[in-house]
Amino acid sequence: MLAYEFRWSVLWEQPYGLWMLEGIWTTIKLGLISWVFALLLGIIVGTCRVTPWRPLRLLATAYTEFFRDIPLLVQLFFWYFAAPRVLPAPIEQYLYRQVPQAEFWIVVIALSIYTSSRVAEQIRSGMQSIPVDQFHAALSTGLTYLQMYRYVTIPLAIRIMIPPLTAEFLTIFKNTSLAMTVGVLEATFMSQQIEAYTFRGLEATTGACLVYLAITMMVVFFMGIVEKRLAVPGLIARGR
């Protein structure tokens, strides 16, 4: 028999319940803001990876390879502890002391850059799944390269890429939990803080797990609907 008495009430007793809610809210904010930046950056870089112009392609490839191959936590520490050192001392002081929630925005930077490199990979493979004829057809109707990407390739590619991008979105949500290491008060941090106050680590951690599980399941359910609505006719649907 387990020599452990569960006390699940730490999850909703005051003030712990309020902490938990605040943490969840921060997690959602963090995830969504980073996702917007990551998506924008990822689309730009991913498109650069398939341009006909070689230097741009090499640059974009270097970017994705570089940021994909360093653990997110290391990047986070780099942006938080190391990068501000490059700045002149007054700005550094200002950043740490004056800017409200500096660590929040640093995490946003780290998460967006890391995720954008992964998104770029997905964009590239999505683009490459489009037949070359589409490009030729678009160009032969007199569209410029930019117009071709804007009106033909990207809209099509994005619809093909919804499933892998959903997976990336979930990954960014899960990765927001790393923000606790630099002191952003998100859900994982809060669960550990509850642990610190109550010594109920197992309950607090389980509670946080359930939060992430719920978010993930909602996103999966919602994206399933979106995917069906936007499916490109004529392609083999990812049926089960």
Partner 1 sequence: MQGLLTTFQLAVIAISGGMILGVLVGMGRLSSRVCVYYPATVFVNFLRSIPLILVIFWFYFLVPILAGRPLGDFLSAAIAFIVFEASYFAEIIRAGIQSIPKGQLQAAYSTGLNYPKTMRYIIIPQALKNMIPSLLTQSVIILQDTSLAYVIGLKEFLRSGSIVDAREVRSLEIYTFVGIVYFLICFSMSTLSKRWEAKKGAVR
Shortest separation between residue 94's beta carbon and partner 1, angstroms = 18
- In whole angstroms, give the CA distance from residue 182 to residue 172: 17
DSSP 183: T
Contact segment (CB under 8 A) with partner 1 among 129-137, 153-161, 204-212, 224-232 equals 204-212
3-state secondary structure of 25: helix
Shortest separation between residue 140's beta carbon and partner 1, angstroms = 33
Check binding of 70 to partner 1 (CB under 8 A): yes
Residue 174, classified by CB atoms within 10 Å of its CB into exposed (0-12), middle (13-18) or buried (19+), is: middle
- In whole angstroms, give the CA distance from residue 152 to residue 177: 37
- In whole angstroms, give the CA distance from residue 101 to residue 157: 36
Shortest separation between residue 7's beta carbon and partner 1, angstroms = 13
Pick 125 or 205: Cβ nearer partner 1: 205
Out of 65, 128, 224, 226, the only residue in the binding site for partner 1 (CB under 8 A) is 65
Contact segment (CB under 8 A) with partner 1 among 31-39, 121-129, 151-159, 174-182 equals 174-182
Shortest separation between residue 53's beta carbon and partner 1, angstroms = 23
Closest CA to 72 of 189, 178, 165, 149: 178
Tokens of 68: 């994909």
CB 135 within 8 A of CB 153: yes
Check binding of 32 to partner 1 (CB under 8 A): no
Check binding of 175 to partner 1 (CB under 8 A): yes
Q: Which residues bind partner 1 (CB under 8 A)?
A: 2-4, 65-66, 68-75, 77-78, 81-83, 85-86, 170, 174-178, 180-181, 188, 191-192, 195, 201-202, 205-206, 208-209, 212-213, 216-217
